[in-house]
Amino acid sequence: MAVQINWLNEPWAMTIHFSDKVTADDMREVIGKCLPRLRENPIYFLLDMTHVSSVDPRLFELSSLSEWIYHPNGRWFAYVQPHRMFSSIMKMRQRGNYKAFDDYNEGLAFVDRTSRAEQERVRVS
């Protein structure tokens, strides 16, 4: 498996580390774990593609991909070194909640900061 999913700040922020070739099956697994949690709570995602060698173009045909990226509780999708093809397509599909970073720590800081700000807003209201 070329995917590892972890909580950064449960239930507000998740990290997803991809490596090698990202397949449609890998993406189905990610979506299968993330989508049910999105139904419960807003989530910020950090998707680390630093070690990705290629992306299976069939993953963009998954109807569940649209369900995940357009879910109203999906806040930011922050990508670290997104693969060229993946970046091009996702920039077009994700308007307003796509952000790319060259450095993992910058992406991590962004997701941590923005998710904690929302957590604080919810706590105060």
DSSP letter string, 57-108 = GGGGG-HHHHHHHT-TTEEEEEEES--HHHHHHHHHH--SSEEEESSHHHHH
Please give the pLDDT value at position 1: 52
When pLDDT is averaged across residues 79-105 and rounded to a whole number, the result is: 91
Domains and their CATH numbers in the chain:
3-124 (3.30.750.24)
Q: What is the pLDDT confidence band of residue 19, given thresholds at 50, 70 and 90?
A: very high
Mean pLDDT for the chain? 93
**Residues 22, 2: contact at Cβ < 8 Å?**
yes
Please give the pLDDT value at position 32: 97
d(CA 80, CA 88): 14
Q: At 3, list the tokens.
A: 């995917």
Q: At 102, list the tokens.
A: 């060259």
Q: Would the pTM count as exceeding 0.85?
A: yes
When pLDDT is averaged across residues 68-78 and rounded to a whole number, the result is: 96
Please give the pLDDT value at position 35: 96
Q: To 10 degrees, the CA torsion angle through 21, 112, 106, 85?
A: 30
Beta-bridge partner residues of 43:
74
Tell me which amino acid residue 68 is.
W
